[in-house]
Amino acid sequence: MRKAPPFDNQYEAAGGLAEKIAAEGAFCAACIRAFSSDEIHSADEVFLEQKARFQAHIADSAALDGLLAELVFSLDRMTAEVSADLDSFRGLTLREKMAGWTSRQRMWRMYTERVREAPVIDQLLDLLAKSDTLARLIASQRAAIIERHKAAEHSLIGIVEQRRRLVDSIDIARLKMKELNAKALTTQGRIGVYGNRAHWEQMEAERRALKAEAERISAEEHVMRDDSQRRERFIGLFQAFVDSLNGRIGACNVLLRKLMIDVEERLLIYQAQVDTDRPGMKVRIKPEFFPDIAAPIRLFEKGMLVAQDLERRKSRADLDAAGKFPAYAEPFAETSGTPLIDTARRPFRFSLPFRRS
């Protein structure tokens, strides 16, 4: 199993790629928007140039989604590591046990102070800060993609409708050619059979006129057919771009859902580890400090986070994210099937009965 790069490095790479994608995405959207009004955009050489840029943009977008997924899963792994660090607090130290010989109240007070001063609290706060930063990036990507998808899809619908009208014109031209050729053939068959020489010459002139009109329409039909084929290639390219945007919206939805549920998990660990009723402890986690993950924090403030409910939702979110990004959903082999936090030794403290998925 490869070792994941540090979170900050990965986040910086994702941010840089997001800026590049924004510029390329704007170019792609402008190409689609201008296609119907600028005939030069249907030239074959232009198609090859745009095809390369569109495909590069789609590939970069997939890479960015992968980076975002890896960041979300890396925070989940870091949460598991913090949870493992809490194992050291499941028992009492010798000093605390000795204090308990004379005063159990003093023993638990010493235990509480040790837990409160532990670095895992700062680690949890750091995880929340990272979660907030990552949520901001994913949410901004989602908003930009939705706007671009709406505009590109609208333009594409117009282009498809233009090609449909062009195909209708081709069908009409073919019917007209068939009709003219049939009339010319009928006229040719009548020459020399009916009327006099002057009448035959008149019919021949009519036949030539019919054939000339058929050839003219045939030339127009050929041009329209070439144009239709060129437009079909561009439509396929534009449709791939729109489909890519639609897929990215779904990916952002999956990642945001998992990230927010993971934030609830981190808040529950904090709540289980810290005496949040003590002045100054709960105030360290406020919606205004973490505006992009404010929704679960508001539930935390109101005491509405429930471990039993979280277990089911987290399991589902993990499965959805793993299905969307199997390459980054590494299983938690070490912790699977074990409680996230075990506070059975301290019955008066909050316990989390759910298991990591």
In whole angstroms, what is the distance from residue 136 CA to residue 38 CA? 38
Cβ neighbours of residue 304 under 8 Å, at least 6 residues apart?
none
Which pTM value belongs to this model?
0.77
Give the pLDDT confidence score for residue 38 in this predicted structure.
Answer: 61
Expressed in percent and rounded to 5, the helix, strand and coil fractions of the chain are: 80, 0, 20
10 Å Cβ neighbour count for 217?
A: 18
Per-residue pLDDT of the chain in tens (357 residues, 90 and over written 9): 455 568 889 999 999 999 999 999 999 999 999 886 665 555 677 888 889 999 999 999 999 999 999 999 999 999 988 877 766 666 777 888 888 888 888 888 887 777 666 677 788 889 999 999 999 999 999 999 999 999 999 999 999 998 898 899 899 998 988 888 888 888 777 776 666 778 777 878 888 888 888 888 889 888 888 888 888 989 999 999 999 999 999 999 999 999 999 999 999 888 876 654 454 555 578 889 999 999 999 988 888 888 888 888 999 999 999 999 998 876 543 444 344 444 333 333 333 433 443
Tokens in use for 135? Answer: 């949520």
The H-or-E segment that residue 355 falls in is strand 352-355
What stretch of H or E contains 178?
helix 119-190
Structure tokens at 12: 């910086």
Q: What's the half-sphere exposure (Cβ side, CA atoms, 13 Å) at 132?
A: 20
DSSP 3-state of 352 = strand
- Strand partners for 352: 341
